[in-house]
Amino acid sequence: MYPSYNTSPKAADSAGMSTAVQLASKFKLGWNIGNTMEAIGGETAWGNPLITESYVKAVKQLGFTAIRIPCAWNTHVDNKATAHIEQSWMNRVKEVVGYCVNNGLYVMLNIHWDGGWLENNISKLKQDSVSAKQKALWEQIATSMRDFDEHLMFASANEPAADNAEKMGVLALYHQTFIDAVRSTGGRNSHRVLILQGPNTSATLTADLMNTLPKDPAPDRLMVEVHNYTPSQFCFLNEDVSWGKMVYYWGSGNHSTIETDRNPTYGEESAHIADFEKIKTKFVDKGIPVLMGEYGAYRRDGSAHVPKELALHNTSVDYWITFVTKEALARGIKPFWWDTGGALDRQNNTVKDQRTIDALLAGAK
C-alpha cells in the first residue's frame, strides 16, 4: 500500500540504552507541551507560539524531568498515496526533540490524535489500511530520530478508542506494527524504550483488557501508558451537559455545603487508589513501567461559571493535583501534567498559575 521507508537500516546498537525499568527510574515528573505540535494546521494553529529552547529550559527549571510531545504526522504528509512526511515538518520535530534531549530531559514522542486516522479506526474492517499507515509513518519517524540516545522514547498512539476485547486485539496489532517498524530501522532504535497505550488510555480498561503485550525482539524495553481525568466533570467539563453537570469541588474534606449539586458523586480518592493499585499489580510489579501520560484538573476562570465557594474550588484543584501526583508516584506510575499554556506562559516563560506548579511539586516530593 505504501513504499517501505526502512531504506537504510543500521546494525543494532545497545550501547547506553537502558531497560524500561532503568529508564523509568531516571525521571519523575513529566510535562506535556499540549495544543502545539499536534495542532491540526501547524504548530501555532491552536494559539500557542512556536516552541523555543528557552521554554524547554523553563520547564526543566521548574523541576520537571521529562516532556511529552504530542505530535501530528498524517496531517503533515505531502503525498497521501505514499504517506511521505514533509521534510520540513520532520526537521522541526527533530529540532524540538533536540531542545529537550540537549537539556537532559527525557522525551515521549507520539503520533497523537492526528485527525483520528488510528484512534478512531480500531476495527477489523480498517486494520489493514491503518496498520500500513502506522508502519509507513513510524519507519520515517524512527529513521529520522534514530541517533538520539535513550532520552528519546517513542509512543505508538494517543487515546485509542478501544473498549472491548475484540478492539483490544486490533489495538495490539497496531502496537505490534509500531514495534516492528521501529526495531527494523536498527541502531539505537533496536533497544529504544517504546510506550504502548492502553485501551481508551483508561486505567480500568487497561487493567481489564491489556492482558498480553506484543512481541518485542528487545527484552524489557516496553512501557504502558494510561491517562487520568477522573472525574471528568471536575477535571475539564466547562458547561453542564446531558450526561452530567460540572463539578467544582473534590476530595473528602472539600465538599460544598452551599452548592451541593456541584460535589462529585464518583471518582474521589478511593477510586484513584483502586485504579492505581490495579495498574501497579498488573504491570509495575511485573517490571513493566507505567506512565500517566496525561492528567489534569483545571480552575474555572470565572468568565462563565464562578463557583460560589471559589476558595474551596481552588483548594479542591490543588488537592486533586497533589493527591493524584503523589499516589501515582507511590505506585511507580510516572505522571505527565497536561498543559496547553495555562500554567506556564509560553510568550515569556513565566509561571501563570503558581498554585498548580506548587501542587505538582508538592505531589512529587
In this structure, which amino acid lies at residue 37?
A: M
Asked whether residue 240 is domain-assigned, the answer is no
Pairing label, strands 344-345, 333-339: unpaired
Could you tell me the CATH number of the domain that includes residue 211?
3.20.20.80
Q: What pTM did the predictor assign?
A: 0.98
Asked whether residue 210 is domain-assigned, the answer is yes
Measured CA to CA, the distance from residue 178 to residue 196 in angstroms comes to 9
Cell numbers describing residue 91: 526537521
Reported as a single tens digit per residue, the pLDDT across 156-203 is: 999 999 999 999 999 999 999 999 999 999 999 999 999 999 999 999
Measured CA to CA, the distance from residue 202 to residue 317 in angstroms comes to 21
Asked whether residue 7 is domain-assigned, the answer is no
Q: What are phi and psi of 359, to 5 degrees?
A: -65, -40
Measured CA to CA, the distance from residue 69 to residue 259 in angstroms comes to 38
Please, are residues 197 and 156 in contact by the beta-carbon 8 Å criterion? yes
Domains in the chain, number: 1
Please say if the pLDDT value at position 92 is more than 90: yes
Torsion of Cα atoms, 110 then 112 then 117 then 120, to 10°: 120
Asked whether residue 148 is domain-assigned, the answer is yes
Measured CA to CA, the distance from residue 175 to residue 30 in angstroms comes to 23
Supply the range of the domain harboring residue 132: 20-232+269-363
* Local structure of residue 12 (DSSP, 8 states): B
Asked whether residue 245 is domain-assigned, the answer is no
Average pLDDT, the chain: 98
pLDDT the model gives residue 237? 94
Q: What are phi and psi of 318, to 5 degrees?
A: -55, -45
In sequence order, which ranges of 146-268 are alpha helices (DSSP H)? Answer: 165-184, 203-209, 232-235
Q: Report helix angle 127-145 to 87-101, nearest 10.
A: 60
Asked whether residue 96 is domain-assigned, the answer is yes
pLDDT the model gives residue 304? 78
Q: Find where cell 506510575 sits.
A: 333
Q: Find where cell 509560553 sits.
A: 346
Which H helix or E strand runs over 274? helix 269-282
pLDDT the model gives residue 54? 99
Reported as a single tens digit per residue, the pLDDT across 195-242 is: 999 999 999 999 999 999 999 999 999 999 999 999 999 999 999 999
Question: How large a percentage of the chain has pLDDT more than 90?
Answer: 98
Please, are residues 361 and 354 in contact by the beta-carbon 8 Å criterion? no
SS3 (DSSP) at 153? strand
Asked whether residue 10 is domain-assigned, the answer is no
Cell numbers describing residue 232: 471528568
Burial annotation 154-184 (CB, 10 A radius, 16+ → b, else e): bbbbbbbbbeeeebbebbbbbbbbbbbbbbb
Please, are residues 133 and 2 in contact by the beta-carbon 8 Å criterion? yes
Asked whether residue 1 is domain-assigned, the answer is no
Side-chain half-sphere CA neighbours of 238 within 13 A: 9
